[in-house]
Amino acid sequence: RKEVEQDPGPFNVPEGATVAFNCTYSNSASQSFFWYRQDCRKEPKLLMSVYSSGNEDGRFTAQLNRASQYISLLIRDSKLSDSATYLCVVNVKGYNKLIFGAGTRLAVHP
């Protein structure tokens, strides 16, 4: 079983749609949680950290459920510029390595 698993995608949605990405992690010692965005042939960039209380940044909302070991990302009012691969990432307590999921590709079309 992979340490971080994500929806395989791709997600093809029209502009303005709401899209949700799900992610599960296997290590209960996971301490920090993130969503990264990666554009084609570019490096990953931090989109947002994920907190137990849930957090929102404009059109983006992230949720964490530690009991279920589940992380989600909701994108509202999708824009063409949101097209990218979204990577779910965890950091296990005591380690300083980031553990990435395989990513979910999002394509927003006009």
Partner 1 sequence: ETGVTQSPTHLIKTRGQQVTLRCSSQSGHNTVSWYQQALGQGPQFIFQYYREEENGRGNFPPRFSGLQFPNYSSELNVNALELDDSALYLCASSFLRQGVSDEQFFGPGTRLTVL
**Binding positions for partner 1, rule: CB under 8 A:** 4, 41-46, 87, 89, 91, 94-103
Q: Which is nearer to partner 1, 87 or 106 (CB)?
A: 87
- Report yes or no: 50 and 63 within 8 Å, Cβ to Cβ: yes
Cβ at position 110, least distance to partner 1 in Å: 26
Q: Which is nearer to partner 1, 82 or 103 (CB)?
A: 103
Chain centroid to Cα 55, Å, comes to: 13
Cβ at position 72, least distance to partner 1 in Å: 17
CA distance 57 to 89: 18
Q: Which is nearer to partner 1, 17 or 99 (CB)?
A: 99
For 47-57, give one letter per residue: b (16+ CB within 10 A) or e: bbebeeeeeee
Cβ at position 101, least distance to partner 1 in Å: 5
69 residue type, one letter: Q
